[in-house]
């Protein structure tokens, strides 16, 4: 039973106040500089084809594909630079980050704007002539948000293209919204400002209602609702967010060790940690092929294309798997992946593909936007299944 009406009103009011303060002291577009502590100094830009959004990217795109993070701002404020230090820091570690709202924009955002960000990124990844053509890892997508932005992230977390959700100092405001928790199927992480955070009781209530078997992490750092977003390079919240994204979107198990097990890295520091169903086993997907066409680990080659299968998450009773499809020496206009599942395993839901069948031998065909692949380039899809994912046999045919 939640005490929601009063908490919700205070949360919304405080989130707006915090964001207003950050916008006052934060950099304007004229003052913004390439930055972040990662290996790819990042900046932000806008696109006429994605109005009212702010796009953070490495100034020089790295050779490997960029996983995608879409972000909802505190207070649902339509300023994509409200958490500029935090978001630019994440991007500098090799991520494409798209925030709701124009740089220093005004007004309010909606959860649909997060979906627009994903739509745009997928379209740009497949659009010949785009600087992002073949450079976005569309099988690795995170949705996240701070305070009111966290509620936006919850609202779209059921999108089949999203592979993980991150909630920062937020929690559902009414028991009537608990259906959003029941429909969660992908790993989720909470980063909260401790008992002094106005969102703390909401987040703790959500934590207790997560579906059984769902991989979940909660970290509390006693800094209050305002977090560390406006500190240099986004402070401790950004450091931990980068580690989590490296684990969940890049398969970095060294980063994952910060979150998993009784002796996890964050367990030994200033964070208060809770864990559910977390394991590093199966959390290391094959590295994404670079745009130059570096092969995936152990691909299965067929006519005109190859496919590499990897289990991203495995927990008691279920798993998440990803498949990377690579075109051969010539461009292809479509592909079909045949996957033989282990005994007892079934496909529950899939994204970035059109699937046929749920057990035994299952067919996965390209979606409308990722069928054409240039020679040596890749496309990806994923699915969630029941049972055990290891041991599947995969093949690919160009169509």
Q: For the full predicted model, state whether its pTM sits above 0.75.
A: no
Tell me whether residue 284 is in a domain: no
CATH number where 228 lies? 3.40.50.1820
Tell me whether residue 84 is in a domain: yes
- What pLDDT, on the 0 to 100 scale, is given for residue 311? 87
Q: Are residues 114 and 223 in the same domain?
A: yes
How do residues 41-86 score in pLDDT, each as one tens digit? 999 999 999 999 999 999 999 999 999 999 999 999 999 999 999 9
Tell me whether residue 288 is in a domain: no
Q: Are residues 213 and 254 in the same domain?
A: yes
Count of beta carbons in the 10 Å neighbourhood of residue 278: 18
Instruction: Say which range, 22-31, 111-120, 340-349, has the weakest mean pLDDT.
Output: 22-31
Rounded to the nearest angstrom, the gap between the alpha carbon of residue 63 and the centroid of all alpha carbons in its chain is: 20
Q: Does residue 197 register a pLDDT over 90? A: yes
Query: 300 - beta bridge partners?
Result: 307
- Its domain, for residue 78, covers 5-276
- What pLDDT, on the 0 to 100 scale, is given for residue 356? 93
Tell me whether residue 135 is in a domain: yes
Tell me whether residue 282 is in a domain: no
Q: Does residue 261 register a pLDDT over 60? A: yes
Q: Are residues 259 and 379 in the same domain?
A: no
Q: Are residues 235 and 324 in the same domain?
A: no
Report the pLDDT averaged over residues 310-330.
85
Q: Are residues 189 and 248 in the same domain?
A: yes
Tell me how many domains the chain contains. 2
Query: 306 - beta bridge partners?
Result: 301, 326
Average pLDDT, the chain: 86
How do residues 275-290 score in pLDDT, each as one tens digit? 999 998 644 333 333 3
Q: Are residues 74 and 222 in the same domain?
A: yes
Q: Are residues 56 and 200 in the same domain?
A: yes
Q: Are residues 197 and 337 in the same domain?
A: no
Tell me whether residue 271 is in a domain: yes
CATH number where 342 lies? 2.60.40.290
Tell me whether residue 85 is in a domain: yes
Per-residue three-class SS string for the chain: CCCCHHHHHHHHHHHHHHHHHHHHHCCCCCCCCCECCCCCCEEEEEECCEEEEEEEEECCCCCCCEEEEEEECHHHECECCCCHHHHHHHHCCCCEEEEECECCCCCECCCHHHHHHHHHHHHHHHCCCCCCCCCEEEEEEEEEEECHHHHHHHHHCCCCCCCEEEEECCCCCCHHHCHHHHCCCCCEEEEECCCCCCCHHHHHHHHHCCCCCCCEEEEECCCCCCCCCCCHHHHHHHHHHHHHHHHHHHCCHHHHCCCCCCCCHHHHCCCEEEEECCCCCCCCCCCCCCCCCCCCCCCEECCCEEEEEEEEEEECCEEEEEEEEEECCCCECCEEEEEECCCCCEEEEEECEEEECCECEEEEEECCCCCCECCCCEEEEEEEEECCCCCCEEEEEEC
Q: Are residues 317 and 387 in the same domain?
A: yes
Residue 21 pLDDT class (50, 70, 90 cuts): very low
- What pLDDT, on the 0 to 100 scale, is given for residue 26? 37
Q: Are residues 22 and 99 in the same domain?
A: yes
Domain's final residue, options 242, 276, 310: 276
Domain's final residue, options 243, 276, 309: 276
Q: Are residues 228 and 168 in the same domain?
A: yes
Q: What gap in Å lies between CA 61 and CA 58, rounded to an integer? A: 5
* Residues in Cβ contact with 397 at an 8 Å cutoff, skipping those fewer than 6 apart: 302, 303, 304, 305, 335, 336, 338
Tell me whether residue 34 is in a domain: yes
- What pLDDT, on the 0 to 100 scale, is given for residue 123? 93
Q: Which of 231, 239, 241 is nearest to 26 (CA)?
A: 231
- What pLDDT, on the 0 to 100 scale, is given for residue 281? 62
Query: 102 - beta bridge partners?
Result: 79
- What pLDDT, on the 0 to 100 scale, is given for residue 378? 84
Q: Are residues 26 and 94 in the same domain?
A: yes
């Amino acid at each position: 039973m939640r005490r929601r009406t009063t908490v919700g009103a205070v949360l919304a009011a405080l989130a707006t106040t915090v964001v207003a303060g950050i916008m006052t002291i934060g950099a304007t577009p004229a003052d913004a500089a390439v930055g972040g502590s990662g290996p790819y100094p990042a900046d932000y830009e806008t696109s006429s084809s994605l109005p009212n959004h702010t796009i953070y990217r490495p100034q020089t795109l790295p050779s490997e594909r960029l996983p995608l993070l879409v972000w909802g701002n505190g207070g649902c404020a339509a300023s994509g630079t409200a958490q500029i230090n935090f978001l630019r820091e994440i991007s500098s570690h090799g991520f494409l980050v798209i925030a709701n709202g124009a740089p220093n924009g005004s007004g309010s955002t909606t959860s649909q704007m997060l979906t627009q960000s994903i739509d745009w990124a997928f379209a740009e990844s497949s659009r010949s002539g785009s600087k992002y053509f073949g450079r976005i890892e569309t099988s690795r997508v995170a949705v996240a948000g701070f305070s009111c932005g966290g509620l936006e992230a919850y609202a779209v977390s059921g999108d089949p293209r999203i592979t993980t959700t991150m909630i920062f100092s937020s929690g559902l405001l009414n028991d009537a919204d608990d259906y959003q928790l029941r429909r969660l199927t992908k790993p989720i992480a909470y980063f909260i400002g401790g008992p002094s955070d106005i969102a703390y009781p909401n987040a703790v209530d959500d934590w207790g209602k997560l579906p059984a078997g769902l991989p979940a992490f909660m970290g509390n750092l006693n800094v209050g609702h305002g977090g560390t977003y406006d500190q240099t390079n986004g402070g401790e919240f950004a450091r931990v967010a980068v580690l989590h994204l490296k684990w969940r979107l890049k398969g970095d198990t060294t980063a994952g060790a910060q979150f998993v097990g009784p002796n996890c890295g964050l367990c030994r520091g200033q964070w208060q940690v809770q864990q559910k169903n977390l394991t590093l086993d199966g959390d290391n997907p094959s590295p994404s092929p670079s745009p130059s066409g570096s092969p995936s680990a152990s691909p299965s080659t067929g006519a005109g294309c190859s496919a590499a299968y990897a289990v991203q998450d495995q927990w008691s009773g279920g798993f998440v798997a990803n498949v990377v499809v690579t075109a051969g020496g010539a461009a292809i206009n479509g592909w079909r992946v045949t996957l033989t599942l282990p005994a007892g395993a079934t496909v529950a839901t899939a994204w970035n593909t059109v699937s046929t069948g749920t057990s035994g031998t299952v067919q996965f065909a390209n979606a409308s936007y990722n069928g054409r692949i240039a020679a040596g380039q890749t496309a990806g899809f994923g699915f969630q299944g029941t049972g055990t994912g290891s041991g599947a046999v995969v093949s690919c045919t160009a169509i």
